[in-house]
Structure 1
Amino acid sequence: MCAVSATPPFAAAAAAAAPGMSSNCTSTTAVAVAPLSASKTKTKKKHFVCQKVKLFRASEPILSVLMWGVNHTVTSSPARAPPSAATRAPTPPAVPGPRPADPAEPHLPLALQINELSNVPVPVMLMPDDFKAYSKIKVDNHLFNKENLPSRFKFKEYCPMVFRNLRERFGIDDQDYQNSVTRSAPINSDSQGRCGTRFLTTYDRRFVIKTVSSEDVAEMHNILKKYHQFIVECHGNTLLPQFLGMYRLTVDGVETYMVVTRNVFSHRLTVHRKYDLKGSTVAREASDKEKAKDLPTFKDNDFLNEGQKLHVGEESKKNFLEKLKRDVEFLAQLKIMDYSLLVGIHDVDRAEQEEMEVEERAEEEECENDGMGGNLLCSYGTPPDSPGNLLSFPRFFGPGEFDPSVDVYAMKSHESAPKKEVYFMAIIDILTPYDAKKKAAHAAKTVKHGAGAEISTVNPEQYSKRFNEFMSNILT
């Protein structure tokens, strides 16, 4: 059985590529035959044209499914589910094969539907049902693209209209989002969160993909309506995570939940040092294992012991703390705690030195290649459509320069700072409610460390106050 089908233009290509596909996945191709001339037969050279189809090639089936799903849902996201299907908004299928019969639209080609749906404007207002809606697809894949996609999988997108609206408010074009997630496989990060949480970045490093628990998904649903309203009121100008999509992927009966956010760090400027700061001092040091990494994540005590400061200047400090206070008060109202300020530091002078060394090595290699009788880089270099070329950034950005519409969390050091730096600062991990479990942890840690200890597990009001005070002290 072919559970979902694709656009008619793909059908012929799929039939040719997968002749062994099940009998009910068929396509018909009309062929025009020109009349033969009795006196003269002219034979033309045949030109075979291969249609370009995204293959969603990744090292893991789950990532291939993510790429396929985002490509499908962004391309064909509907304006709004009908009232009768408000909590279940199935999107048009997009896998080569026949289209399941639809009595309401028996003659409308799927390609036409997708084009029409993708051109529908985002509605001015979201309805309450949009915060409960989802798009769910079950795929029996059989032989199409079997090298990359599992034979059977499910893909579920939560609250598609809400996240589409959020992407728009954060200034992220749907096509750019789709290309970032689907053009090339996401890249694994050596960072690992609590309970084995996994982090990946899109190939262009613009977005972060994080695995989350079913409890996190439930908490996202709990706060999403208020979060969306907050983003509307602050016009997207916030230090909170920019949530762009939430998905459930099912492969071999195993469910994986993923959330996509904007990357706090730059896709262009290298981060040389990073910190996860909570304003707590109990057990807040990076482990030896963490310190052995190429880019370890240091914590509060590491920051304080180094005598580190973020030199942003009085005006920038004032603006930053006002925004931080507003965001943190919002989290306290939601009874959220245990969040962090993620800080990344780009050392401008160090980056310039590293760039010079790279250029020198490239020149040496070019000379060696020329000496061998040809420019091997030109012969075997990056193909025009490969991700490597897509990461060629504009040359007009000077050292330490960035596009504030892209690097929205970036801030330059003050002119009087001891070192020329760029800081990337944002609040992360905002899906931890102060529930019975956290209250029990607070009681246990208080007994162990004493009532006056700066433990991380405290009530949201106390957490937000301590958080603001700590961040105020590290900025200068």
Structure 2
Amino acid sequence: MRNATQHRYPIAKSFDLKGSTRNRRSKPDDPVGKDVNFLEEFGGLNLSPQLASELLQTHHQDVEILRQHEVMDYSLLVQVHDREPSAVCPKPYPSVPVRMGHSPVPQDSPWGVRVATASASSQHPNTAPTGGVQWRAYDGITSADGRFLYTFALIDILVPYAWWSKAQVLKNEIQSCGRSEEFSRIQFDDYADRQIGFMKRVVGPPVREKVDN
């Protein structure tokens, strides 16, 4: 899944989704919502069946790679661009548009030269093969009613299921009397399954859910 910030559009709302609702509510003034905020504000992205199927397949394949490497605690970043601002997205948060090959970094700086070189040596999203899918990560995905534009990324993918993570999972298991699956951090296999399951809710109809948390 391509980096979600490779676009020119202002971001009305961002969500960091792990698939858990335990302690997954952000503060009202936080520009990035969490799982509970998403369920209460959107409930689902209302994608067309074809787009939903393609996105689920892409997400599933990416998560399976993380599963193979025993990675956990990653998040699905969902960025929402509202074409009709309302109470759902009352105020866009400040953002800097970023696009491959169109960086705001001065082009004559050492970093600017490295960015330009890296961009030139990679395939531009608009010319990359689509593999038969009906959407491009660069353009984003439009909701079924045409109101919202969504972009996605898998982030925080560097947490291995090592001794420290195993100790945290064991502690949660003891403290919760065997209900550790409610916590954000769980065993990497279970984490992948939960992410895949939650993704089905993300792409589904906008059924908002009040979560007592």
TM-score of the aligned structures, taking structure 1 as reference length: 0.32
Decide which of 270, 273, 279 is 2:13's aligned counterpart: 273
CA contact 1:409–1:426 (8 Å) conserved in 2: no
Deviations 1:294-323 (A, max 9, x none): xx1110111123352102110000011111
> Could you say which structure has the greater relative contact order, defined with CA pairs below 8 angstroms and 6 or more residues apart?
2
Decide which of 412, 430, 439 is 2:157's aligned counterpart: 430
Decide which of 7, 29, 34 is 1:292's aligned counterpart: 29
Task: Give the aligned length.
Answer: 161
Aligned-residue offset at 1:421: 0.8
Deviations 1:130-149 (A, max 9, x none): xxxxxxxxxxxxxxxxxxxx
Q: Distance in 2 between matches of 1:342 and 1:318?
A: 18
Q: Measured at CA, do residues 271 and 307 of structure 1 come closer, stay the same or move farther in structure 2, by a change above 3 Å?
A: closer
Q: Distance in 2 between matches of 1:318 and 1:472?
A: 9
| Aligned residues with identical type, % of pairs | 32
Aligned-residue offset at 1:451: 2.3
CA contact 1:409–1:425 (8 Å) conserved in 2: no
Query: Does residue 457 of the first structure (1) align with residue 192 of the second (2)?
Result: no
Alignment of 1:187-266 (within 5 A): 239=1, 263-266=3-6
Query: Does residue 304 of the first structure (1) align with residue 47 of the second (2)?
Result: no
Aligned-residue offset at 1:471: 0.7
Structure 2 counterpart of 1:334, one-letter code: H
Q: Where does the alignment leave 5 or more consecutive residues of structure 1 unmatched?
A: 1-238, 243-262, 355-386, 391-402
CA contact 2:141–2:150 (8 Å) conserved in 1: yes
Q: Measured at CA, do residues 311 and 266 of structure 1 come closer, stay the same or move farther in structure 2, by a change above 3 Å?
A: farther
Structure 2 counterpart of 1:280, one-letter code: S
Query: Does residue 408 of the first structure (1) align with residue 143 of the second (2)?
Result: no
Q: Distance in 1 between matches of 2:139 and 2:62?
A: 14
Alignment of 1:25-174 (within 5 A): none
CA contact 2:7–2:138 (8 Å) conserved in 1: no
Structure 1 counterpart of 2:153, one-letter code: A
Structure 1 counterpart of 2:5, one-letter code: F
Q: Which has the larger radius of gyration?
A: 1
Q: Distance in 1 between matches of 2:52 and 2:137?
A: 18
Q: Distance in 2 between matches of 1:299 and 1:272?
A: 15
Q: Measured at CA, do residues 447 and 420 of structure 1 come closer, stay the same or move farther in structure 2, by a change above 3 Å?
A: same
Corresponding residue for residue 224 of structure 1: none
CA contact 1:264–1:409 (8 Å) conserved in 2: no
Decide which of 177, 199, 205 is 1:471's aligned counterpart: 199
CA contact 1:265–1:409 (8 Å) conserved in 2: no
Q: Distance in 2 between matches of 1:435 and 1:462?
A: 15
Decide which of 334, 338, 347 is 2:73's aligned counterpart: 338
CA contact 1:321–1:472 (8 Å) conserved in 2: yes
Higher helix share: 1
The list of structure 1 runs, each at least 4 consecutive aligned residues, that deviate by more than 3 angstroms after superposition, is none
Deviations 1:338-372 (A, max 9, x none): 00000000011239xx9xxxxxxxxxxxxxxxxxx
CA contact 1:311–1:475 (8 Å) conserved in 2: yes
Q: Distance in 1 between matches of 2:139 and 2:165?
A: 30
Q: Distance in 1 between matches of 2:38 and 2:177?
A: 23
Aligned-residue offset at 1:266: 4.6
Q: Measured at CA, do residues 307 and 348 of structure 1 come closer, stay the same or move farther in structure 2, by a change above 3 Å?
A: closer
Q: Distance in 2 between matches of 1:307 and 1:448?
A: 32
Aligned-residue offset at 1:427: 0.6
CA contact 1:335–1:433 (8 Å) conserved in 2: yes
CA contact 1:265–1:271 (8 Å) conserved in 2: no
Q: Secondary structure at the match of 1:309?
A: coil
